[in-house]
A and B are shown apart, each in its own frame.
Chain A
């Protein structure tokens, strides 16, 4: 069955460092993969989308990589700030039936310590 694993439930890093979050998926080949941010009591907010033919995508301090051979995506936040503290969700598209729906990982809760 299709499975998504995000590296850890929680990640604590020092302000100014680079945070790296990992998303691994098994048993399918997504056409694209998205990353979302979710704050407590709020709905997820879209951050970045990367397609299967793209190796890397950047947006300001964010960088996402997509390795379809390893079946892995890495999400980096450079020069992290306390305001980056949130839960980050990985969402590869579901494969099959021509329907590009997303399956979400359980998320990694990032805490940036001042």
Chain B
């Protein structure tokens, strides 16, 4: 597709379950970001992938959060043992090496009951 694709668009889960969120970036974009947006809050940086470099994981809030990017393309954000405070919209973005702007997906809304 032409844009950043995220799935699922909505996910409702029970506390303690694991969830996986997927991001398919724009073809050719070497940089990929995950952000979290809680209700009424700004975008919180989670993790950044750039090409084959080691990811910047400095924004991950706890060791229950992890992310990987396979083949420099698709990325999966995994949240283990979900808690209610994990409820938020998880946004993925990608960018090309020649430009600074980010292209965002529509987000995955996670609700932990």
Contact = CB atoms under 8 A, between A and B. Distances in A.
A44 B101 CA distance: 11
B104 A43 contact: yes
Contact of B100 (A100, A103, A107): A100
A interface, by DSSP: helix, strand, loop or mixed? Answer: loop
A44 B43 contact: yes
B35 to A, nearest CB: 7
A94 B45 CA distance: 11
B104 A107 contact: no
B14 interface: no
18 contacts: A34-B100, A41-B106, A43-B105, A43-B106, A43-B107, A44-B102, A45-B104, A46-B102, A46-B103, A49-B101, A89-B43, A99-B48, A99-B56, A100-B100, A101-B33, A104-B45, A106-B41, A106-B42
B56 A107 contact: no
B91 interface: yes
B104 A44 contact: yes
Interface string A28-67: 0000101010000111111001000000000000000000
Contacts of B102: 34, 36, 44, 46, 102
Contacts of A34: 100-102
B35 A104 contact: yes
B45 A107 contact: no
A93 interface: yes
A43 B107 CA distance: 6
Contact of B45 (A45, A103, A105, A106): A103
Contacts of B91: 43-44
Given A44-B102, A102-B102, 9 more contacts: A34-B102, A42-B106, A43-B4, A43-B104, A43-B107, A99-B50, A101-B33, A101-B48, A107-B42
A49 B91 CA distance: 20
Nearest to B91: A43
Contacts of A49: 100-101
Nearest to A4: B42
A36 B35 CA distance: 14
Contacts of B56: 99, 101
